[in-house]
Structure 1
Amino acid sequence: MEKPKVYRYRWVILVSMIPILATTNLFWLTFAPITRIAEDYYNVSSLSIAFLSICFMVVYIIMTLPASWLVDTYGFRIAVAVGAIITAVFGLSRGYMSSSFTIVVISQIGVATGQPFLTNSITKAAARWFPVDERATATGIASMATYIGMIIALVLTPILTDQYGLESMLSIYGIVALISACIFLILSKEHPPTSPSIVEETEQTFSFKGLQQMLHKRDFIVLMACVFIVMGVFNAVMTWIENILSPRGITPSQAGIAGGVLVILGLVGAVILPIISDRIHQRRLLLIIPLIASIPGFIGLTFFHQYSLILLSCAFLGFFMMGVGPIAFQYGAEIANPIPEGTSYGMLMLMGQISGVIFTYSMDAFRVSSTDSLTPAMIILIGLMLIGLFLTSKLNESTMILSSEHKEEM
Structure 2
Amino acid sequence: MSETAPARRRTRPHRVRAARWPLLLAFASLVASTQVLWLSFAPVTTRAADTLGVSDGAIGDLAVVNPIVYVLLAIPAGRWADRRFGLALSTGAALTAAGALLRAVNPESYGWLLAGQVVLSVGQPLVLNATTKVASRWFPATERTRAIAVGAGAQFLGILVAATTAGPLMDAGGLPLLLGAYAALATGAALALVVALALVPPAFAADAGPSPSLSWLRHDRLLLKLAALLFVGVGLFNALATWLDPILEDLGMAGSGGTIIATTTVAGLVGTAVLPDLAARRDRRRTVLLTTTVLAVVVFPLVSVLPAVGLVAVALAVVGFFLLAGMPIALDWSELEAGPERAATATGFLLLAGNLGGAVLVLAVQAVVGNPYLALGAFALLALPGVAVASRLPARAGSHRDPEPSTSRDATP
TM-score class, shorter-chain normalisation, is: 0.7 to 0.9
1:399 matched to which residue of 2?
398
1:205–1:340: 8 Å Cα contact kept in structure 2? no
- Specify which of 206, 220, 224 is matched with residue 221 of structure 1: 224
2:76 matched to which residue of 1?
66
- Give 3-state SS (helix, strand or coil) of 1:340's partner: helix
Q: Aligned partner of 1:134: which letter?
A: E
How far off its partner does 1:328 sit?
A: 0.5
How far off its partner does 1:45 sit?
A: 4.9
Unaligned runs of 5+ in 2: 4-11, 409-413
Matched, 1:145 2:154: yes
Give the direction of change, closer, same or farther, for the CA distance of 1:13–1:97 in structure 2 (3 Å limit): same
2:237 matched to which residue of 1?
234
- Give 3-state SS (helix, strand or coil) of 1:308's partner: helix
- Specify which of 379, 382, 385 is matched with residue 380 of structure 2: 382
Deviates further, 390-399 or 181-190: 181-190
Aligned residues with identical type, % of pairs = 28
Q: How does 1:125-274 map to 2 (within 5 A)?
A: 125-189=134-198, 192=201, 194-195=203-204, 204-205=208-209, 207-209=211-213, 211-240=214-243, 245=248, 250-251=254-255, 255-274=257-276
TM-score (norm 2): 0.84
How far off its partner does 1:50 sit?
A: 3.3
How far off its partner does 1:218 sit?
A: 1.9
Give the direction of change, closer, same or farther, for the CA distance of 1:19–1:331 in structure 2 (3 Å limit): same
* 1:185-214 residue CA offsets vs partner (Å, 9 max, x unmatched): 112259746538xxxxx97446242x2112
Unaligned runs of 5+ in 1: 197-201
In structure 1, how many angstroms separate the alpha carbons of the residues matched to 2:373 and 2:111? 32
- Give 3-state SS (helix, strand or coil) of 2:107's partner: coil
Q: Aligned partner of 2:346: which letter?
A: S
In structure 1, how many angstroms separate the alpha carbons of the residues matched to 2:404 and 2:285? 12
2:365–2:378: 8 Å Cα contact kept in structure 1? no
Deviates further, 84-93 or 333-342: 333-342
How far off its partner does 1:366 sit?
A: 4.1
1:114 matched to which residue of 2?
123
How far off its partner does 1:380 sit?
A: 2.0
* 1:215-241 residue CA offsets vs partner (Å, 9 max, x unmatched): 112222222222222222223333555
How far off its partner does 1:163 sit?
A: 3.1
TM-score (norm 1): 0.84
- Specify which of 79, 82, 90 is matched with residue 88 of structure 2: 79
Deviates further, 131-140 or 237-246: 237-246
- Kindly tell me the number of residue pairs found equivalent between the two proteins: 395
* 1:59-79 residue CA offsets vs partner (Å, 9 max, x unmatched): 10111122112210111x322
1:343 matched to which residue of 2?
345
In structure 1, how many angstroms separate the alpha carbons of the residues matched to 2:280 and 2:327? 14
In structure 1, how many angstroms separate the alpha carbons of the residues matched to 2:216 and 2:54? 46
How far off its partner does 1:357 sit?
A: 2.4
1:92 matched to which residue of 2?
101
1:9 matched to which residue of 2?
19
In structure 1, how many angstroms separate the alpha carbons of the residues matched to 2:295 and 2:233? 13
* 1:146-189 residue CA offsets vs partner (Å, 9 max, x unmatched): 22211111112222223333442122111211111111111225
Deviates further, 399-408 or 65-74: 399-408
In structure 2, how many angstroms separate the alpha carbons of the residues matched to 1:14 and 1:300? 39
How far off its partner does 1:323 sit?
A: 1.0
1:68–1:343: 8 Å Cα contact kept in structure 2? yes
Q: Aligned partner of 1:266: which letter?
A: G
1:236–1:356: 8 Å Cα contact kept in structure 2? yes
2:292–2:319: 8 Å Cα contact kept in structure 1? no
How far off its partner does 1:300 sit?
A: 5.8
Q: CA RMSD in A?
A: 3.2
2:227–2:353: 8 Å Cα contact kept in structure 1? yes
Deviates further, 143-152 or 117-126: 143-152
- Give 3-state SS (helix, strand or coil) of 2:40's partner: coil
How far off its partner does 1:42 sit?
A: 4.5
